[in-house]
Every structure is written in structure tokens, then in C-alpha cells.
Amino acid sequence: MRNILLDTHVWLWISMDDQRSLSRKARNMLVHQKNSGSRWISAISCWELAKLVERGRIGFSIPVLDWIKRSLKEKVLEVAELSPEIAVESTRLAGFHRDPADQIIAATSRILGLPLITADRKMQDFSGIETIW
């Protein structure tokens, strides 16, 4: 299996062991991939999660930074840092929607050559990245 990139909501779902929110294909990919490739998230996903907590859309029983660190360790996730290449690529996504976090995630997928597991239809419909759902 190959390495994969998780969209922010997928990261949240697997961290909460919410298998029901995942498609069968995504669930199978995550199960089979677990022992034979790396799971990645974009650094921007940490920011997105912290913003959700800040806005009161989700909450944790521990500080958000502690939750992030625990999740990364428990789910064996790598963090793709925001490199200059990713930052510039995020501005070159012709026809992509204007959400900056999604642009960074899509650019991360392109620059690192990682398929993106996402339920987001806008991401799935964009032909410039490989998605799994």
C-alpha cells in the first residue's frame, strides 16, 4: 500500500473511532494501509481543528494541543509541514474553490503525491488531485 493524506474531518473521525462516517472504500483503505504505509495530515488540519474548538463547533475534555499530540501519536500520523512549494502550489489550483485550508490540503496532496481521503465533494470533484472515497 502507499502513503495517504487525510482530510481534516477524516482525521477527526478516525481519532474518535467513528467508522460509520467513513465510506466503505475509505474504511477499507485505512484498515489495509495501516501496516504498510504512512498516514499523513497537512499542518493546516491542526489549525482547522483548533479553529473549530475556538468557535465552539467541537470540544474536547483536554486542551486542543494535547488532543492533537495524543491523536498524532495514537493514530500514528505524520504531519506534512507547510513548505514554500505547498504554499505556492495552493495558488495554482485552477478551478478549485476558495477555502484556503482546502487549498493547502489539495496542494499538499499534489506536491507530496499522496491520494487524499475525503468526504468533501468539492475536493472529490476537483480533477487536479487523486481522492479516495
- Segments making up each domain of the chain, as ranges: 4-126
Q: What is the pLDDT of residue 37?
A: 80
Mean pLDDT, each 10-residue run in order, the chain (133 residues): 91 94 92 78 98 96 97 96 98 92 97 97 93 96
Q: What is the pLDDT of residue 35?
A: 62
Spatial CA neighbour of 46 closest among 92, 97, 82: 82
Q: How far is CA 70 from CA 1, 16, 74, in A?
A: 25, 12, 6
Q: What is the pLDDT of residue 34?
A: 64
Q: What is the pLDDT of residue 1?
A: 58
Q: What is the CATH number of domain 4-126?
A: 3.40.50.1010
